[in-house]
Copies of this chain bind each other. A is one copy, B any other.
Amino acid sequence: MTKLASVEAYAPASMGNVGIGFDIFGMAFQEPGDTVRVEYSDASGVEIVAITGDGGRLPLAPDKNTASVAVAHYLRMIDSLQGVRLWVNKGLPLASGLGSSAASAVAGVFAVNALFGEPLERKALLAACLEGEAIVSGYHADNVGPSLLGGITLITGTAISDIRHLPVPSDLHCVLVTPHVAVETAAARAVLPQNLPLDHIVRQTGQVARFVDALYRDDLAAVVSAMEADLIAEPARAHLMPHLDEARRIAKRAGALGLVISGAGPTLCALCGGRAEADATRHALDALYQESGIGATSRVTCVDREGARIIRSL
């Protein structure tokens, strides 16, 4: 095998929680995603040469960026003293509930592993990705897991054996709408309830079970109905999401089956059974946020089944 000089990897956006599954479910989207290019360096350590697509908001300091921290951990994992240089291109909006910090970490680690000739298999990369994510969001795999592995994932811990793929509904189309407001993950976590009454827990666990059952039966209407039944995060965070109730009502009128908050928000994800319904829903939600003066970025996408991937290597 010829030694590579430059590798660029893509890691997809992802949605933590998936509505009903606070801190246990994740879902990868085909788009948007972050790309990281990696090349060898004569200097030791990890250097970030440039970050594009972030409007100058992200730090170049290698101990402050999730991609470089993750890559540095990867190099320790394989006992390498080789230095590398990173170019990070943010396709993902920051602090939007789409797993931006996770995607950069995953793309960086996936690229450097390919540059080194794939000494580790995909699943073994999780630990390094988690180290990167941890400097921003703590040790949690609900974005790193789906971004690395693709699909819809159940996450019951931080080991690779704690992450399982669940079936992906065949007709599912997603509309991602990111209103132009800031919701910091830390602030969104601060409003969460510290505990829940038993009757709420019974309803929550029942709908979690129904969600998994419906995925296996490919019953998209039941999947989405279960997704919307969350009693943990949405009731606590709804006030942080502008026009949430109206967005849900408008999305359903346009043909969507339902709508949930993506991760900690403010991105909303409308779930549709086909491309036409998704296009109509996107159009209706765009109009809502334009008329309200907030503005929003939107797109139609599907569940990404592949996870991180190499898009260019020289």
Binding site for B on A (CB under 8 A): 21-25, 154-156, 164, 166, 192-198, 201-213, 216, 232
Contact = CB atoms under 8 A, between A and B. Distances in A.
Contacts of A155: 206
A203 B210 CA distance: 17
A31 B61 CA distance: 67
B232 A24 contact: no
Nearest to A229: B156
Contacts of A206: 23-24, 154-156
Given A164-B210, A166-B213, A204-B205, 20 more contacts: A22-B205, A23-B202, A24-B206, A24-B209, A25-B209, A154-B209, A154-B213, A155-B206, A156-B206, A156-B209, A192-B198, A194-B197, A195-B201, A201-B204, A205-B205, A208-B208, A209-B209, A209-B211, A213-B216, A216-B216
Contacts of A213: 154, 164, 166, 212, 216
14 contacts: A22-B201, A22-B202, A22-B205, A23-B206, A24-B209, A164-B210, A195-B197, A196-B198, A201-B201, A201-B204, A205-B208, A208-B208, A208-B209, A212-B212
List the number of copies, as a whole number: 2
A226 to B, nearest CB: 9
A160 to B, nearest CB: 15
A166 B210 CA distance: 10
B195 A198 contact: yes
Nearest to A200: B195
User: Ordered nearest first, which 5 A-B pairs have the shortest CB separation?
Assistant: A212-B212, A156-B206, A24-B206, A195-B195, A23-B202
Contacts of A207: 156
A198 B154 CA distance: 18
A194 B212 CA distance: 27
Contact of A210 (B154, B197, B201): B154
A209 B201 CA distance: 14
A150 to B, nearest CB: 17
A137 to B, nearest CB: 15
A179 B211 CA distance: 37
A80 to B, nearest CB: 35
A216 B209 CA distance: 12
Nearest to A192: B198
A24 B166 contact: no
Contacts of A21: 205, 209
Contacts of A22: 201-202, 205
A156 B210 contact: yes
Contacts of A212: 209, 212-213, 216
A226 B164 CA distance: 14
B201 A232 contact: yes
